[in-house]
Amino acid sequence: MKSLIIDQIEITKNGTVQVRMHKFSSDGDSLGNHRTLITPVGDVDAQIAAVNAHMSTEGFSPVSDSDVARLKTICNVAWTAEVIAAYQAQVAA
């Protein structure tokens, strides 16, 4: 089965987390990247579930639990109360 591996997590100036997943064939060959964004008020589990649902239609296995745990840890550190408040103010403006 093809696989998705989170290989880059970036936090933008407004706190949005950009996630790049590398796609691999069942033989281990590189198939390119898939990207997704999660805002500071977003739901990591819901976004990863959406990615997994979409990528399963192309024969990819779900993002690993360890990759999701690493992503959640980074989001929890990045999304301080101040970052969330600033993001909400930006969206409201």
Average pLDDT, the chain: 97
How far apart CA 13 and CA 67 sit, in angstroms, is: 23
**pLDDT tens for each residue of 22-65:** 999 999 999 999 999 999 999 999 999 999 999 999 999 999 99
What per-residue confidence (pLDDT) applies to 55? 98
What per-residue confidence (pLDDT) applies to 72? 98
Please count the CA atoms within 13 angstroms of the CA of 50 that sit on its side-chain side.
Answer: 11
What per-residue confidence (pLDDT) applies to 57? 97
C-alpha dihedral, 37 to 41 to 42 to 45, nearest 10° = 130
How far apart CA 14 and CA 9 sit, in angstroms, is: 14
Model confidence at 85, pLDDT cuts 50, 70, 90, reads very high
DSSP-derived letter for residue 61 is P
What per-residue confidence (pLDDT) applies to 29? 97
